[in-house]
Amino acid sequence: MKKVIIQYLRIFTFFTVIYIFLFHTPLLRSQSVLFYRGLGLLFTTLLIIFLVLIALRIKLKLNFETMIAALIMSFSINLVFFVVFPVTFERSVTMYLLNRLNLTKQSQNCQGLSKNDLEKDFIKNYLIKNQAMEKRIIEQKIINMINEKDNCISISPRGRSFLDFSRIIEKIYMP
């Protein structure tokens, strides 16, 4: 049992190191949507590690079932971490707000910014300068949730279906 746990941990560590390393390479860098690039790199990592483990399976004395289970576990944990942290941070208004307040010079009157100043800064920098709306439009067009024709953006049938699904999930988890 201890040997199997060690194999799981080694595969998980190897998987995670390769996955993080790939983020620091030009691979899939043309994909401007972090979520899609991360998924692409995750599947690339899965393929790389699978091939390496197949090649070294006999030398490492790896049971095939243990190898597959460890790969699935590694993939799943990295996917959850990636979605919960980097993707959420990239999209999060809360993270923008906290970072902005952290960089604000404090005065005697105010240890931060007024609500009005935060709103103006958010519109100017988060929405316009960082092109938040443009990024969301691009990603939603990629997955066919919206359509754009003659400078008019509309929801697609797939987008409507997704909204219906999200309302069901909302009723279940946010009554």
Closest listed residue to residue 31, CA positions, set 114, 134, 121, 139: 139
Q: How confident is the model at residue 155 (pLDDT cuts 50, 70, 90)?
A: very high
Q: What is the largest CA-CA distance in the chain?
A: 69
Q: What is the pLDDT at residue 32? A: 82
* Residue 108 pLDDT: 67
Confidence of residue 107 (pLDDT cuts 50, 70, 90): low
CB atoms < 10 A from the CB of 15, how many? 25
Q: Tell me which residue of 136, 174, 140 sits closest to 155, measured CA to CA.
A: 140
What percentage of the chain exceeds 70 in pLDDT?
98
Nearest by Cα to 16 from 40, 36, 39, 46: 46
Q: Helices 2-23 and 64-82: crossing angle, nearest 10°?
A: 40
Q: What are phi and psi of 140, to 5 degrees?
A: -75, -30
